[in-house]
Amino acid sequence: MILDKDTASVLTVKDWPTLADIRTGVVKRDRDEETGLDLIFMKNPSSLGDDSMVAISHSVAALRDGMMIFSASLESLDLRSLSSALGESVKSLQSEYGIRGYLTPARITLYGNGEKEDIGVYLGGKSDEEVFDFLQSLFEDSFVEVEEGEDYSDWIVE
């Protein structure tokens, strides 16, 4: 997902109820000097919507003028909530997903410019520092700064 920091649309709960709530689970705030965007790093934040089937372990949100324009999160399905919604036993779902716990393996989810992109299961380090470094690298890779003479327009999602 490649975005332009100046034209990326604002993300809202109406579009994506599974977005991390930037008022919860805040670990640190930072300003990215290269893009001028504010970053909020979160651990175990709530989601903005009522979707209790998704558990967010870590997330980073990029804000332009106080409005979220990008988010990268590690998200898992909560089998207890899914069990209740589907009317299936938790054990049945655990068997189906091949896990023993209540949460499916964390998936890397990107939100930006009206799109949601699942880029796969997170296989990186488990410490908070390693996860936040990974999420920050996703943020950095998602914004293109155009150098004079370079044309990245075909990379940018409009």
Please give the chain's pLDDT, 158 residues, in tens.
788 888 899 998 888 889 999 999 999 999 999 899 999 999 999 998 886 789 999 999 999 999 999 999 999 999 998 888 889 999 999 999 889 999 999 999 999 988 999 999 999 999 999 999 999 999 998 886 655 555 544 444 43
Give pairs for 148-153: CB < 8 Å, separation 24+: 152/2
- Give the separation between CA 6 and CA 150, rounded to whole angstroms: 17
- Give the separation between CA 103 and CA 13, rounded to whole angstroms: 23
| Residue 2 burial by Cβ neighbours in a 10 Å radius (0-12, 13-18, 19+) | middle
CB distance 10 to 67 below 8 Å: yes
- HSE, side-chain direction, 13 A CA sphere, residue 96: 13
pTM: 0.84
